[in-house]
Structure 1
């Protein structure tokens, strides 16, 4: 035989051996007729020191002669290999003959319910398990439906969920839920929301369970940024301090700008030609998209700048304020009085009514004839000197005389 031929034979041999090896890993030798199938999760997790409820239903396959009226027992088999008939791998038999693992048949086997409570778990019990039914003259194993159980030391983090429109003045329902591998020993849920509702246990579609606590609240802008904290404490080892895991979630509540304020630096009297800084701040979600500054004048408010910060050189005093906007609305700040040192006069505008001393008209007709009162808009200079009262009185008398001449 040539060297090349020998190599080919060796390669074929190796391939055959590999095929046998991998096939043996997926093919289970039941040692009996695989006439059983179960409906149960393919994989389940449990907490060390706690228990696990295994939801399970079984069905005899077509052609399998199974009589449910006879005494029937459920058997659980631990398997690290492809052989299930090793007696050392049988860990539980509901007949009471074997109970090396602390298990209890909860389901009614005559109704094809094989639900089982698995207690006193530890990490050494992480394994693959098979279910079998036995009667006096019948035995069938669910060879194609193994259950992988993984035991962990740390608990599961709870889940916070918010249902409803998260918006100011809207009502939402906030819930905190935690995986519950064993409803006989559920986790205790606590959070920083009002504790006026009790935890409840809900069954999932796959037969597993979830513990939940929930609360309905009406949102306001004060809830924006509120940090919801929820903890799940799992009891372990029949009374020992439980294992706890916490989850946090921050609320984000959209609202129009609020608490808008304006400030000035330096404050107090300032000199003409000096620089002042105006700053505007506001609370809003989403954040403020537009800041505008206004100066109040005799003709109304005049827009003088944009941006949350406004710096300028002082030429005269005045009253300033800011307005802010986001996509949900707007808000106006307080007013700031800018006072310039050395300005001795203040200008006031007002309505002054004068009468010619004649009796008031008695009818609308007399008013229409031109004998009504007249309104005069006057510009009065009010001085801060000692004779300010006298000057003001003299000014009023001059205006009064001019009106009477008309």
Structure 2
């Protein structure tokens, strides 16, 4: 029995050497886990409390040192603030004020482990909290930022989005950038989390439009690492609820056929949620009538189907009306046959009258003559003008009646005095160039009549 008591005493002494007095001699407050990016720093927020029974010893100590143990082994000390030449880290908190916050520089993946904190006052007071530890995980790439969870967003309602990125090294926090479907100015700030770790918060606010539906939003965290950067991003998709947009009506075929042909009127619209009801209306004679309640309205054209048509698209967000399209009025085919036959008959009659007039006005082949008798002589008919459009020459003959008059008598003298001033008369003879032998007797007769008149 005594031997067992000795063994227990030896174990207790060993425990006191490794971890100070006991777990009840020191109470630390620190996060349970922390993630750090390799080749950067990591800051461990830390605070501690001393039990009342040992508080006097701690307060009277001149020098207080902080020690971080890697695991529960005294020999595996990662950091000791009493070593002024230690470049692995630095206690930034005031140990006298029971603040043990520590920064480790240029951490690598080998730092990944569980760490415990110890207080040492050069023998006056020494304690380790073996009940509380922090697990540090060093990763090559930064962890993904956290973005606000997005649900259904209503068009026109202002939307604020938040993005969080951990800042394990507050001295070099990450920068947050947004990729948005619209312009917006983000607001960034470094904030402290409930476990006293740091993070960067970025907020953007904008008014979503139906054009933003199904568009991606990305938040990117840029971590400075030495002379370069390491990035991580998070992407979400917007789901915007909006009433029907771009509602339009169309007719197929564009030019409907005759009465009895099939015509499709189709209504198209974009909406979220999708359109639940399509309605067709017809405007005729200033009156609007609902004609169908479906997306595609099919009708066999009748005489009275002509008019203006439009459709309405509706969902639980609202309704939109399309532009009007025109369906031309149709005629009965029998009417078209009657109208067409009448037009053909009228056209045929016009053609017959036209050719009859042309035939009657046609000039026969022959000689055209024109005689200009004296004022007192009766007018004579002009000879017929040949049909051929050959160049014509006009020949004038001068007839001197004084050479052919008889010897002077008293009666002749009186006639001479009456015809005084009429020394000569002219006759215009129009002879067609290249006259034929059939025209020769006519010409001779004409000259004979002229000579006869001159003899008178």
TM-score w.r.t. the length of structure 1 is 0.70
Q: Secondary structure at the match of 1:307?
A: coil
Pairing partner for 1:244 from 202, 207, 231: 231
Pairing partner for 1:67 from 58, 70, 74: 58
Larger radius of gyration: 2
Is the 1:41–1:206 Cα contact (8 Å) retained in structure 2?
A: yes
Which range is displaced more, 123-132 or 247-256?
Answer: 247-256
Deviations 1:169-195 (A, max 9, x none): 322222222122221111111112446
Pairing partner for 1:116 from 80, 97, 102: 102
Please give the alpha-carbon distance, in whole angstroms, between the structure 2 residues aligned to 1:165 and 1:278: 33
Q: Displacement, 1:211?
A: 0.8
Match status 1:144 vs 2:131? yes
Identify the structure with the greater helix proportion. 2
Please give the alpha-carbon distance, in whole angstroms, between the structure 2 residues aligned to 1:63 and 1:75: 22
Please give the alpha-carbon distance, in whole angstroms, between the structure 1 residues aligned to 2:184 and 2:90: 35
- Quickly say closer, same or farther: Cα 1:282–1:115, change in 2 above 3 A: same
Q: Displacement, 1:40?
A: 0.4
Q: Which residue of 2 aligns with 1:105?
A: 91
Pairing partner for 1:32 from 11, 16, 20: 20
After TM superposition, the structure 1 = structure 2 runs for residues 168-317 of structure 1, keeping only pairs within 5 Å, are 168-193=155-180, 194=183, 196-236=185-225, 238-239=226-227, 241-298=228-285, 300-316=287-303, 317=305
Is the 1:272–1:340 Cα contact (8 Å) retained in structure 2?
A: no
Q: Displacement, 1:296?
A: 2.1
Q: Displacement, 1:163?
A: 9.2
Q: Secondary structure at the match of 1:76?
A: strand
Q: Which has the higher contact order (CA 8 A, sep 6+)?
A: 1
Pairing partner for 1:326 from 315, 334, 343: 315
Match status 1:50 vs 2:40? yes
Q: Displacement, 1:143?
A: 1.1
Identify the structure with the greater strand proportion. 1
Deviations 1:72-106 (A, max 9, x none): 11111112xx4x222xx01111122573x721101
Please give the alpha-carbon distance, in whole angstroms, between the structure 2 residues aligned to 1:286 and 1:204: 39
Is the 1:39–1:58 Cα contact (8 Å) retained in structure 2?
A: yes
- Quickly say closer, same or farther: Cα 1:98–1:289, change in 2 above 3 A: same
Number of equivalenced pairs: 316
Which range is displaced more, 280-289 or 125-134?
Answer: 280-289
- Alignment RMSD (CA, Å): 3.0
Deviations 1:230-273 (A, max 9, x none): 2111122x22x222122222222322222211112221242332
Is the 1:75–1:93 Cα contact (8 Å) retained in structure 2?
A: yes
Q: Secondary structure at the match of 1:67?
A: helix
Which range is displaced more, 292-301 or 279-288?
Answer: 292-301
Name structure 2 gaps, 5 residues minimum: 1-14, 334-338, 344-456
Q: Which residue of 1 aligns with 2:80?
A: 93
